[in-house]
Structure 1
Amino acid sequence: MNKYRRPAQPRPAKKCQKPNKVFILLFLSLILAFSLISSGCRQPASVVYLDELGAQHFTAGWSETKANKSIDGNPLSVAGQVFERGLGTHAESQCRIKLDGRAVSFRALVGIDDEVKKTQRGAERASVEFIVSARDQQNNPQVLWKSGLLKAGDPAREVKVSLKGFSSLDLIVTDGGDGNAYDHADWCQARIEYRGNLPEPVKPYAAEPYILTPPPAPEPIINSPKVFGVRPGSPFLFTIAATGKRPMTFAAEGLPAGLKLDSSTGRITGFIDKPGTYQVKLITRNRLGTAEKMLRIEVGDKISLTPPMGWNSWNCWGCSVTDENVRQSARAMVEKGLINYGWTYINIDDCWHGQRDPKTGEIRSNEKFPDMKALADYVHSLGLKIGLYTDCGPKTCAGYVGSEGHEEQDIMTYAKWGYDYVKIDWCYCEGKDPRATYKLFGDAIKRA
């Protein structure tokens, strides 16, 4: 042992670490507690589907938007995939939905409904673009998503956008830039995830309806045109258009041979064989007075001497039109009093055609129109006239059988059924001379 070695010094005691560990554990515990409290206080998200908010809030460029159905009332179907929920609409279409800034997201699958592929024309023409936009709390608009151009048969495209912080949502369908024919658009499985208040659709602006025409006076007034044209030997039907309190009686002085008047309905019917000009005094009476008006009847080649007034099925029913739709419209024209102001024609547009008789080539109506002659007779019984539609090409605009090569035969068939008017369209007529083509129909009408 070295006697000069310094004795070992005792080590200084370690400072206690326990307080620091306790502090750290306490801090982490507080963070975890606040996190759990925050998570526990957050309101769980709810989901509302567009069909629950109401289809009536979506405008449509044709017909009316439908919940859980296509615009034509069929199951929602895009590229063969059928959807139980959603909205079927038609371009141009729009809906605004008010949010409270706490909505989470909007999701949907969008596309063109398969029903347009029932006709070649629909399959070729349908094109739309879906747009989702929103506005922030300062009302600044922001486009959140665009589908790009969609055509018939394209698979449904998925929409998934965040709505956090937005005060309103706009759902838009445009016509793709080529007009809105056949633009049947579906918002499938469309839903909003939200916290807070239920999203609220904004009612589309609609002016309050009002009547420009003053109410009719109780005294009789004759509203018929002053001139009427008919071809020699053709059926004559003219209803004296008169307003005033009913009951009312009618009379006519100077009717040419072959015509007769029903004094209770004011309908003049019959045939005039001799060409010429005939002046007839129309008279109507009720208990409050009498009205008179001169009518010039021209019997010759000039028949459309006044603009036709009436109803056409296309803008109301499109290809969904049926025999019963036409009958209902004819009854409404009488019951609503339009016939008393000179409204005359009930015209069936495209989509009534069936196939041709394989032996004779005569056109037939499809299953929606079981008896074309009976339909014409019914409309005539109301004092109205009836018209229908064809096309100069091999197909109509909606893809049904056209009149090409059967111009005279079809006109003669329409005359046999008792129709008064024909609209001849110009689809699938590329390369034809309009003057020559329509002359075929015009000459046939004269012979009919």
Structure 2
Amino acid sequence: MAKLHLLLLAFIGTTVAYAQKTTTIWLDGLSIKSFSEGIPAVLPKTNAAGDSMRINRRYFNHGVGVNATSILAFYLDGKATEFSALAGVDDKGNRDLPHTFYVVADRKILFDSGEMRLGDAPKPVNVKLTGVKRLGLLVKVDDDGRTKVYSNWANAQLVMLGNHLPENIPNSDEKYILTPASPKTPRINSATVFGATPANPFLYTIAVTGDRPMQFSARDLPKGLSIDENTGIITGKVAERGRYKATVIAKNALGEATQKLTIKIGDTIALTPPIGWNGWNSWARTIDREKVIASADAMVKMGLRDHGWTYINIDDAWQGKRGGKFGAILPNEKFPRFREMVEYVHSLGLKVGVYSTPMITSYAGYIGGSSDVETGQVTDSIVANKRAFRYVGKYQFDANDAQQMADWGIDYLKYDWRIEVPSAERMSVALKKSGRDILYSISNSAPFANVNDWARLTNSYRTGPDIRDSWNSLFVSAFTLDKWAPYGGPGHWNDPDMMIVGNVTTGTQLHPSRLTPDEQYSHVSLFSLLAAPLLIGCPIEQLDAFTLNLLTNDEVIAIDQDPLGKSARLVINENGLQIWLKPLEDGSYAAGLFNVGDFGKTPESYFRWGDEKTKSFIVDFAKVGLKGKYRLRDVWRQKDLGPFTDSFKTDIRHHGVVLLRMFPEKQP
């Protein structure tokens, strides 16, 4: 009787399971951008250009249009039963490049389209997903930076159990903190070299941690400079060219710290990479005066200024009409009392940046630096049709805008467009004639073929597309920069874009970075090794303890700000290990050991499955070009590891890093 009862219960359970309600959802009904871990656009119901979705002359009203290599990742948690779609290259895509479509579930490839090209009929996709936890949709294209590489998941649908919806891949790994707290005694963290132009305004702030109050002083400053003893801000103007050796001093009740400071007065500014904050990935188009001031206040309150963070940069969306005494771009209604705002930020010892473009309209649809009419004005109809005016107009106003920036006291310009040399050169000349040192950063995707021009004309140049908070985007933006390394240096830095830590908005609403904690350590480590600009892209006042700790390790920052200005080079790339080696001014080396796994080598490797493992590696010194005995220091933990001869063995977490300082020891 008991056996019959158990069989009956089993039958009832099976019947209920089979009868469980399912819901079919269109992928284009989801917030699809939030599921994208690729770089270019992902759009619902259209191709990636925003046009009608069409494959082999057949139109589709439903689906997801993607561009180039595309990665869509979904957390299903066993709540889906089926995925279906028609996969194919969009009729407005690139004719020459083969695309391969994959459906990957819990590390298993369920669909492989083989190579598909423009004009091929769409291929039907229909895969069962019962019990699947994680689903990945991958389109693989070796686009080599080419544009209009459009393809589609047409009529894409998921069948879900009940009313469940797919979720984003969870990012719940422990936010482990490695860096010890700064001591209460003074410790100076400023860059040890600083460049300025003769007779231009000079602003340098001594960054120092330790208990307040703090008293500041300096010895052997060049004529024309003075230091505020309460703030450590050095201001003035130096008329004579030269190389000046000064000493800066910070003192509190517990002790005193000194640091040598080399001041170079000449033609080169930005002798170390810029380090600060940019507002786009925090606030995008909603940036305003109050948010800028709040960010500057937070830079001080959170202690970032004491670790050398300097710039407060306003991205696109501050621009209003053209006018004023210079006939220049003036701020819009969100930025009243603009000069007063700049002066306030300067009073904190920080610097201010703005955004512009040589195009008629900016990417966000605001007035740019050129026009097809002589007055330079941009009408409302032009703004409404901004995509049609993303080109350099007949009349350019570089000199007008540079003069206005200098008059306000601007310290940094982000100049953004599809970069070409003539526009880059016009603004470079205008800034140098403005009477103020304005760091000149051009964006985005600078053509490598013109790298010598970018190094000659600018202080930093974007080496790739806009970064997103995904491992794929970070890998493309930073782990592929070895060919650029010889061209960066003091005064002209390779720029892989803003930092993707903290809360960011990169095409979707503000959310915590999708990088795992391990990936964030790798991110900050590699940017520092590359001598890249360090520009935080998150709201500073929202920093949690983990992210603040990540951004305030002075030994990591010192690698980025090293006066030698050399970028690390990729010296090992095998068996899932990358080693980047950077020579430093004192004769030591910084070495980043990265566990990149097999990323990009298999369809499965593009996704995070939640079961990734730590791996052991042995570093052979001779294989990276070093021989003999080295004293090693773990930079993130600020801990000496001891002397090692010929090799070093360590465990590295998946997509994680071990960042070392390697000091050569004299041989007996």
Short-chain TM bin? 0.5 to 0.7
| TM-score, normalisation: structure 2 | 0.44
Larger displacement relative to structure 2 (269-278 or 211-220): 269-278
Match of 1:381 in 2: 347
Match of 2:259 in 1: 293
Structure 1 residue 176 displacement after superposition: 10
Structure 1 residue 174 displacement after superposition: 7.9
In structure 1, give the amino acid aligned to 2:279: S
What is the correspondence of 1:107-118 to structure 2 with a 5 Å cutoff? none
In structure 1, give the amino acid aligned to 2:322: R
Match of 1:336 in 2: 302
Structure 1 residue 87 displacement after superposition: 11
Gaps of 5+ in 2: 1-13, 45-49, 53-62, 87-92, 94-98, 371-394, 438-668
Find the aligned partners of 1:401 and 1:228 in 2 and give their Cα distance: 31
Q: What secondary structure, in the 3-state scheme, does the structure 1 residue paired with 2:263 have?
A: strand
What is the correspondence of 1:132-143 to structure 2 with a 5 Å cutoff? 134=103, 139-142=108-111
Residues 401-423 of structure 1 deviation map (CA, whole Å, 9 limit, x = unaligned): 12563222111100111111223
Match of 1:401 in 2: 368
Find the aligned partners of 1:437 and 1:137 in 2 and give their Cα distance: 53
Is residue 72 of structure 2 the alignment partner of residue 94 of structure 1?
yes
Check whether the contact 1:58–1:204 (CA below 8 A) recurs between aligned residues. no
Q: What secondary structure, in the 3-state scheme, does the structure 1 residue paired with 2:191 have?
A: coil
2:183 alignment partner, one of 196, 217, 223: 217
In structure 1, give the amino acid aligned to 2:81: A
In structure 2, give the amino acid aligned to 1:96: F
Q: What secondary structure, in the 3-state scheme, does the structure 2 residue paired with 1:252 have?
A: strand
Check whether the contact 1:100–1:197 (CA below 8 A) recurs between aligned residues. no
Find the aligned partners of 1:148 and 1:411 in 2 and give their Cα distance: 47
Q: 1:313 to 1:369 in 2, by over 3 A?
A: same
Find the aligned partners of 1:100 and 1:203 in 2 and give their Cα distance: 13
What is the correspondence of 1:223-242 to structure 2 with a 5 Å cutoff? 223-242=189-208
Q: 1:102 to 1:288 in 2, by over 3 A?
A: closer
What is the correspondence of 1:218-297 to structure 2 with a 5 Å cutoff? 218-256=184-222, 258-273=224-239, 275-297=241-263
Check whether the contact 1:102–1:196 (CA below 8 A) recurs between aligned residues. no
Structure 1 residue 293 displacement after superposition: 1.7
Q: 1:147 to 1:187 in 2, by over 3 A?
A: same
Residues 342-382 of structure 1 deviation map (CA, whole Å, 9 limit, x = unaligned): 22122233443333239963222334434432332232122
For this pair of structures, how many residues does the alignment match? 380
Find the aligned partners of 2:101 and 2:233 in 1 and give their Cα distance: 56
| TM-score, normalisation: structure 1 | 0.62
Find the aligned partners of 1:335 and 1:188 in 2 and give their Cα distance: 50
Check whether the contact 1:354–1:401 (CA below 8 A) recurs between aligned residues. no
Q: 1:136 to 1:240 in 2, by over 3 A?
A: closer
Structure 1 residue 204 displacement after superposition: 4.2
Is residue 47 of structure 2 the alignment partner of residue 58 of structure 1?
no
1:427 alignment partner, one of 418, 422, 436: 418
Check whether the contact 2:183–2:210 (CA below 8 A) recurs between aligned residues. yes
1:437 alignment partner, one of 411, 420, 426: 426
Q: 1:293 to 1:365 in 2, by over 3 A?
A: same
Aligned-pair Cα RMSD in Å: 5.7
In structure 2, give the amino acid aligned to 1:234: N
Find the aligned partners of 1:175 and 1:366 in 2 and give their Cα distance: 42
Check whether the contact 1:241–1:341 (CA below 8 A) recurs between aligned residues. yes
Q: What secondary structure, in the 3-state scheme, does the structure 1 residue paired with 2:19 have?
A: coil
Q: 1:58 to 1:312 in 2, by over 3 A?
A: same
Q: 1:173 to 1:132 in 2, by over 3 A?
A: closer
Match of 2:270 in 1: 304
Check whether the contact 1:57–1:204 (CA below 8 A) recurs between aligned residues. no
What is the correspondence of 1:202-213 to structure 2 with a 5 Å cutoff? 203-204=169-170, 208-211=174-177, 213=179
Larger Rg: 1
Find the aligned partners of 1:181 and 1:319 in 2 and give their Cα distance: 25
Q: 1:160 to 1:205 in 2, by over 3 A?
A: farther
Match of 1:43 in 2: 19
Q: What secondary structure, in the 3-state scheme, does the structure 2 residue paired with 1:329 have?
A: helix
Match of 2:81 in 1: 103
Match of 1:21 in 2: none
Find the aligned partners of 1:386 and 1:344 in 2 and give their Cα distance: 9
Structure 1 residue 245 displacement after superposition: 2.7
Find the aligned partners of 1:221 and 1:136 in 2 and give their Cα distance: 51
Gaps of 5+ in 1: 1-37, 69-77, 81-85, 109-123, 125-129, 150-158
In structure 2, give the amino acid aligned to 1:43: A
Structure 1 residue 267 displacement after superposition: 1.7
Structure 1 residue 279 displacement after superposition: 3.9
Match of 1:362 in 2: 328
Q: 1:175 to 1:356 in 2, by over 3 A?
A: farther
Check whether the contact 2:24–2:157 (CA below 8 A) recurs between aligned residues. yes
Q: 1:228 to 1:197 in 2, by over 3 A?
A: closer
Structure 1 residue 297 displacement after superposition: 3.0
Residues 63-105 of structure 1 deviation map (CA, whole Å, 9 limit, x = unaligned): 9x9xx9xxxxxxxxx779xxxxx99999955223436597256
Find the aligned partners of 1:333 and 1:294 in 2 and give their Cα distance: 25
Q: What secondary structure, in the 3-state scheme, does the structure 2 residue paired with 1:445 have?
A: coil
Check whether the contact 2:100–2:141 (CA below 8 A) recurs between aligned residues. no
Residues 148-185 of structure 1 deviation map (CA, whole Å, 9 limit, x = unaligned): 99xxxxxxxxx9975546443435688995869999x9
Check whether the contact 1:136–1:166 (CA below 8 A) recurs between aligned residues. no
